[in-house]
Structure 1
């Protein structure tokens, strides 16, 4: 997956995030799936979609913003 592929899915993102995503070895399809899960995880479960694969779950973890309760 290229930098341009990542930007086409996520929009402008930090270069460190791009490097982290590339290092996962994920495909653009897996990135799209991770992005969909972030935006509508409950809806996807309700549709009967399978839970994300390990690689998609790793992408979700990279892309999610920390909750306020995680902050000191």
Structure 2
């Protein structure tokens, strides 16, 4: 299932259209977006839980979301 604008807003809060389009271009599922957001916000906790480092779409989303300008409005 491809992520929708509503899914993006539910996970990240309000974002501009171009940023939402960048996320949608990666074609993640809502779960992949939520996982990437968790990595961006609590990577040490996830590593301490023994979770493998993100890969694929989740890694691409982490890179996008972790950019300093990602959520600036």
Structure 2's unaligned 5+ residue stretches are: 69-73
User: What TM-score, normalized to structure 2?
Assistant: 0.85
Following TM superposition, the consecutive aligned residue runs of length 4 or more in structure 1 with deviations greater than 2 angstroms are: none
Structure 1's unaligned 5+ residue stretches are: 67-72
> Residue 42 of structure 1 aligns to a residue in which SS?
helix
1:44 corresponding residue in structure 2: 46
RMSD (Å) for aligned C-alpha atoms: 1.4
State the distance in 2 between where 1:17 and 1:61 align: 13
User: What TM-score, normalized to structure 1?
Assistant: 0.86
Task: Point out the structure with max Rg over C-alpha.
Answer: 1
| Contact 1:26/1:55, CA 8 A, preserved across alignment | yes
